[in-house]
Amino acid sequence: MFTENKFFRMAVIRVFLVIGLILADLDDTMGFLRKREKSEQELDNEAREAVFNQLDTDQDGYLSLEELQTGYGSTTDGVKEKIARDLDKADTNEDGYLEFDEFNPTH
Ligand SMILES: [Ca+2]
Ligand SMILES: [Ca+2]
3-state secondary structure at position 77: helix
Ligand 2: centre distance to CA 79 (Å): 20
Ligand 2: centre distance to CA 87 (Å): 9
In this prediction, residue 98 carries a pLDDT of 97
Ligand 1: centre distance to CA 40 (Å): 27
CA distances from 67 to 1, 47, 53 (A): 85, 18, 11
Give percent above pLDDT 90 in the chain: 49
Give 2-26 pLDDT, tens digit per residue.
Answer: 567 888 888 888 888 888 888 888 8
Cβ atoms of 63 and 15 within 8 Å: the answer is: no
**Nearest ligand for residue 95 CA:** 2
Give 50-67 pLDDT, tens digit per residue.
Answer: 999 999 999 999 999 999
Topology, domain 2-102: Recoverin; domain 1 (1.10.238)
Q: How many CA atoms lie within 13 A of 102 on its CB side?
A: 18
pTM assigned to the model: 0.60
Higher pLDDT, residue 35 or 1: 35
Question: Residue ranges per domain, the chain?
Answer: 2-102
Higher pLDDT, residue 101 or 42: 101
How far apart are the C-alpha atoms of 8 and 28, rounded to whole Å? 30
